[in-house]
Structure 1
C-alpha cells in the first residue's frame, strides 16, 4: 500500500507542473497550449510504443476506444478548462478548485465502487475528508483576500475562470475513476503500456485540434504568430518538458498507484497535486506563504495521512 502512496506522491509532484505552463505563457491562447502539450505527448509516446509494442498489440478495439475517451476528457478537455481558468482567474482559484478533487473523488468512488474495492467506513472517512476540506478552505481564504485587495481585478473574468475551473473538476472526477476501473479490470496489463496507449490516442486528437486552431486563427486574421507564438524556443521546451514529465511519467506513476490502492483511497491522494501546484506558484511569485496558508497545507497533509490509514471493509 505504501508503495502505491509513493507512486501517487510522484504523480502529484509531476502533475503540479501543468499549473506552471499557463502562468509562464500568459500571452499564449489556452487552446494552443493544449494542442502543443499533447502533440509533444503523442510524439514522445511513439518511440515508447515501439518499446511496448507487444503489450500494445494485446489491446483490443474496446481498449483503444477507452484510451481515446480517457485522452479526450482527461487530457485535452481537462487541460483546456484548467489553462483557460488560470489565465482568467489567476493560479490560486483553479488550484484550490482542483484541490477539492480528493473529497469529490473519494465520495463518488465510495458510493459506486464499494462492493469491488471494499467500502471505506464513512464513520472513519468523515474526519480525514473534513480535515482536507478545512485545509483547502484555509489556503483558499488567503488567496481570496489577496484578490479582493486588487483594485484592478475583473470580476466577470474571475467568475468565468471559476466556472471553467469547475469544468476541470468534472473532467478529473471522471478520469481517475474510469482509468482505475480499466486497470483493475485488467490486472494482467502493464500500467506503462496503458500510459503509452493514452499518449498514442492523444496524438490524432491533438493534430486535429492544431489544424482547426491554425485555420480558425487564419480566418479571423489573428495577429498571433502561429504555430509557435512569440517565444518559440521557450514554448517548445516547456511543452516537451510538461509532456514527458507530467503527461507520460505522471500518468505512469498514477497507473501504478491505481493498481495498488482502492479507488476511494487513491482519489484522496490527488491532494499531492494541489500541494505541488501551490508550492510551484509560490516559487514563481518569490514569496513565502502566509501562516494561514501553511496551516492549510498542514491540514491537507494530516488529512491524507489519516485517510490512508483507513482500511476498507468488504461485504459479507
Structure 2
C-alpha cells in the first residue's frame, strides 16, 4: 500500500504543475499553452501506441474507438486545459486551483444524480464546507488594496473564475463519460488497458492542438518569452504532467482501495497552491491557507461519504 500512496502523491505533484505552467508562460496566450501541452502529449502518445502496436497489444484500426477518443479528448483534455490556462492567467493560481480541486466531488455528485442516489446530510455538510472554504480563500484576492471586501472581484478575476468553472464542468462530464467508455473498451474482444486508452486520446488530441496553436498566432509572442521556454514547459506539461502523472495514478489505483485513492487527489490542490506560491515568491494570505484547508476537508468528507454510500449498493 505504501508504494501505491507514493505513486498517487507523485501523480498529484505532476498534475499540480498544470496550474503554474500558464504563469511561467504568461506572455503566451492561454490557448497556446494548452495547445503546446497536448502537442507534446500527442507526440508522446503516438510513440507509445506505435510501440504497443509493434508488440501486438493494441488495435489501431478500430475507427469507432478513434471517434470516441477524439470527442472525449477534445472536450475533456484540450478545451478543459485551454479554459484553465486562461483562468490562471486572468485570476491567478489560487481560485482556479481550488475550483479544479472540486473535481472528485463534482464527479461523484454527477454520478449520484445519474444513479438517482439521495444526498445524505453528511454530504450536504461537506458541500457547505467547500463553499465556505472557497469564499474564505477568494476574499483577499477579490479587488485591490484594503477595499477588497468592499469592491469585490475585478473583471479579469470574474472571467478567470468563469473559465475555471467551465473547465470544471467539462472535466466532470468527461470524467463520468470516460469511465463508462473505458469499461466498454476493456470489455471489447482483445481488451484495452488504461495506458492504451489514455494514449489513444493523447494521439487523437494532436491534430486539434495543432489547429489551436496555429489559430493563436504565436509569432506575436515577445522574444523575451522565447520559443525555447515554451518548448520546454510544453514538453514538461505533456510528458510529465499528462503522460507520466496519469501512468503513476493508474499504477496507484491497482494497490489502493478506491476510498483512499479518492482522498489522495487533494494532494493535487496542495501541489498547485505550493507551486504557485513558489513561482510568485509570496506566501498566500492566512485566509487563503485556512480556506484551502477547509475546502480540502470538505472534499475528503464528500469522497469518503461517496465510498460509504456506494459500496453497499455495489455489493
TM-score range with shorter-chain normalisation?
Answer: 0.7 to 0.9
The answer to whether the Cα contact below 8 Å between 2:38 and 2:238 also exists between their aligned partners in 1 is: yes
2:273 alignment partner in structure 1: 278
Write the distance in 1 (CA, Å) between the matches of 2:279 and 2:213: 29
Aligned to 1:244: 239
Paired residues, number: 303
Distance in 2 (CA, whole Å) between partners of 1:126 and 1:27 is: 41
SS at match of 1:313: helix
The more displaced of 196-205 and 8-17 is 8-17
Change (3 A) 1:107 1:209: same
Residue 174 of structure 1: aligned partner: 173
Contact preservation (8 Å) 1:103, 1:268: no
1:66 to 54, 68, 74: 68
8 Å CA contact 2:142–2:157 kept in 1: the answer is no
Q: What's the CA shift string for 1:18-76, capped at 9, x where partnerless? A: 11111111111122212211111111222212232233317732222221112111111
Q: Which moved more, 1:243-252 or 1:283-292?
A: 283-292
Residue in structure 2 matched with residue 110 of structure 1 by the alignment:
112
Q: 1:59-138 counterparts in 2 under 5 A?
A: 60-113=62-115, 122-138=120-136
Choose the corresponding residue for 2:199, options 191, 196, 201.
196
Task: Return the alpha-carbon distance in structure 2 between the equivalents of residues 246 and 257 of structure 1.
Answer: 16
Residue 27 of structure 1 aligns with which residue? 27
- How large is the RMSD of aligned CA atoms in angstroms? 3.6
From 126, 142, 145, the equivalent of 1:144 is: 142
Separation (CA, whole Å) in 2 of partners of 1:21 and 1:59? 35
Question: Hey, what does 2:45 align to over in structure 1?
Answer: 45
Asked if the contact 1:191–1:256 (Cα under 8 Å) also holds between the matched residues in 2, the reply is no
**Structure 2: how far apart are the matches of 1:60 and 1:199?**
16
Worse-matched range after superposition: 94-103 or 17-26: 94-103
Higher alpha-carbon deviation: 53-62 or 238-247: 53-62
Which deviations, in whole Å up to 9, do the C-alpha atoms of 1:194-248 show, x marking residues without a partner?
A: 121111111121223334444xx7xxxx7436xx984121111111011111111
Quick one: which of 221, 225, 231 aligns to 1:224?
Answer: 221
Could you say if the C-alpha distance between residues 284 and 74 of structure 1 is closer, same or farther in structure 2, counting changes exceeding 3 Å?
A: same
Give the conservation status (yes or no) of the 8 Å contact 1:85–1:161.
yes
Match for 1:209 among 207, 212, 223?
A: 212
- Aligned to 1:55, the other structure's residue is in SS state coil
5+ residue gaps in structure 2? none
Shift in alpha-carbon separation, 1:258–1:146, aligned structure 2, 3 A? farther
Cα distance in 1, alignment partners of residues 16 and 294 from structure 2: 19
**Contact persistence 1:101–1:267 (CA under 8 A):** no
Conserved in 1, the CA contact under 8 Å of 2:72 and 2:201?
yes
Distance between the aligned counterparts of 1:148 and 1:183, measured in 2? 50
Aligned-pair distance for 1:191?
1.1
Q: Kindly indicate whether the alpha-carbon contact (under 8 Å) linking 1:101 and 1:268 is maintained by their aligned counterparts in 2.
A: no
Q: Which deviates the most, 235-244 or 280-289? A: 280-289
Q: In 1, distance between residues paired with 2:2 and 2:236?
A: 28
CA 1:191 to 1:121, structure 2 compared with 1: closer, same or farther past 3 Å? same
TM-score, normalised to structure 1, is 0.79
TM-score (norm 2): 0.79
**CA distance, structure 1, for counterparts of residue 88 and residue 227 of structure 2:** 21
Question: Which 5+ residue runs of structure 1 have no aligned equivalent?
Answer: none
CA distance in 2, matches of 1:106, 1:244: 28
Tell me, yes or no, if the aligned pair for 1:183 and 1:255 is still in contact at 8 Å.
no
